[in-house]
């Protein structure tokens, strides 16, 4: 599957699953990434941060490729 190229955070879904009282996981289907933790907010915030980091990498790659094609 091709990696998504959107730089809009709202284009990325965050799904949360709970098992038992203290086992949580967040999943982003677009990035095929799972984060596990012990609290709902913990895994939700961690996934949102992961998505934002992914978007920043995309922006940096675009900027670098734009700069290299202009050189």
Each residue's pLDDT tens digit, 46-64: 999 999 999 999 999 999 9
Q: Residue 70's pLDDT is what?
A: 52
Residue 63: both structure tokens together: 């900027």
Q: Is the pLDDT of residue 2 over 90?
A: no
**Burial track 9-32 (b if 16+ CB lie within 10 A, e otherwise):** eeebebeeeeeeeeebebbbeebe
Q: Where are the beta strands (DSSP E) in 5-70?
A: 15-19, 23-28, 33-37
Distance CA 54, CA 1 (A): 16
Question: What backbone torsions phi and psi does residue 11 show, to the nearest 5 degrees?
Answer: -80, -5
């Amino acid at each position: 599957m091709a990696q998504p190229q959107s730089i809009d955070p709202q284009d990325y879904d965050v799904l949360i699953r709970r098992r038992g009282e203290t086992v949580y996981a967040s999943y982003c289907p677009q990035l095929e990434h799972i984060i596990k933790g012990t609290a709902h907010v913990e895994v939700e915030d961690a996934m949102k941060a992961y998505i934002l980091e992914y978007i920043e990498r995309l922006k940096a790659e675009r900027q670098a490729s734009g700069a290299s094609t202009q050189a």
